[in-house]
Chain A
Amino acid sequence: GENVEQHPSTLSVQEGDSAVIKCTYSDSASNYFPWYKQELGKGPQLIIDIRSNVGEKKDQRIAVTLNKTAKHFSLHITETQPEDSAVYFCAASIPGNTPLVFGKGTRLSVIA
């Protein structure tokens, strides 16, 4: 089955700096890659997703890139703010066929 590896497990950045989180996946048939943000005591919330027919997607300060050949995708957060502090999860699936498989998460701390 699918295996998703995520790194780093923890990341600290100064407010205003950029943060990058990277994930790799094992099943070349996977073609849906969402990113979820989880705040303390809450359930994960979707922040951005990408499908394999595009290589990059942006939404304000957040962008995701996908390299299908290398089977890796990354989350980029620019101009980080303290409210970006949370745990971020990447995930992968074959839509209609397999459930979302999540990485182990990255705890991002933005230091004011």
Chain B
Amino acid sequence: GAGVSQTPSNKVTEKGKYVELRCDPISGHTALYWYRQSLGQGPEFLIYFQGTGAADDSGLPNDRFFAVRPEGSVSTLKIQRTERGDSAVYLCASSPGTSGMGTGELFFGEGSRLTVL
């Protein structure tokens, strides 16, 4: 079956621009996560959705970052006024679990590589 799909796979933008990254989770998965992975590092938690609501956004680094999941399926990560330090691979993961975050297997997409020049 289809896995987690992320678009675009690569995005190059200029400092100060706005970007949107899209995640299409596995059908029926209620939990959705965004992680950020810098070169040579492990994934770093950004935000967790259970259904339509952001149940935990404590990992978002500042108010330039925002994410939505209006219908409880597709999610969009939005970054305003991009900075060079935002360059990373943004990973989306979904899970069927309704027991809260940090439970059970996460199914990751291949990520969106963002480069801010």
Residues of B within 8 A of A94 (CB): 102
Give which listed residue, A89, A96, A97, A100, contacts B45 with CB less than 8 A. Answer: A100
Check: B79 CB closer than 8 A to any chain A CB: no
Check: A68 CB closer than 8 A to any chain B CB: no
User: Is there an interface contact between A89 and B102, defined as CB atoms closer than 8 Å?
Assistant: no
A44 with B43, Cβ < 8 A, contacts A99-B33, A99-B56, A100-B106 known: yes
Minimum Cβ distance to chain B for residue A89 (Å)? 5
User: Is there an interface contact between B99 and A95, defined as CB atoms closer than 8 Å?
Assistant: yes
Within 8 A of A (CB), among B27-82: 33, 40-45, 48, 56, 59
Residues of B within 8 A of A46 (CB): 105-106
Minimum Cβ distance to chain A for residue B75 (Å)? 15
A41 with B99, Cβ < 8 A, contacts A101-B45, A102-B42 known: no
Q: For the complex, what is the distance from the CA of A44 to the CA of B4, rounded to whole Å?
A: 12
Give which listed residue, A32, A99, A105, contacts B42 with CB less than 8 A. Answer: A105
User: Is there an interface contact between B101 and A41, defined as CB atoms closer than 8 Å?
Assistant: no
User: Is there an interface contact between A95 and B103, defined as CB atoms closer than 8 Å?
Assistant: yes
User: Is there an interface contact between A97 and B100, defined as CB atoms closer than 8 Å?
Assistant: yes
Could you jot down 11 A-B contacts, CB within 8 Å?
A34-B105, A43-B93, A43-B110, A44-B106, A45-B108, A89-B43, A94-B102, A95-B102, A100-B106, A101-B45, A102-B43
Nearest 9 pairs of A and B residues by beta carbon: A43-B108, A93-B102, A96-B100, A102-B42, A95-B103, A99-B45, A46-B105, A99-B101, A95-B102
Binding site for B on A (CB under 8 A): 4, 6, 32, 34, 41-46, 49, 89, 91, 93-105
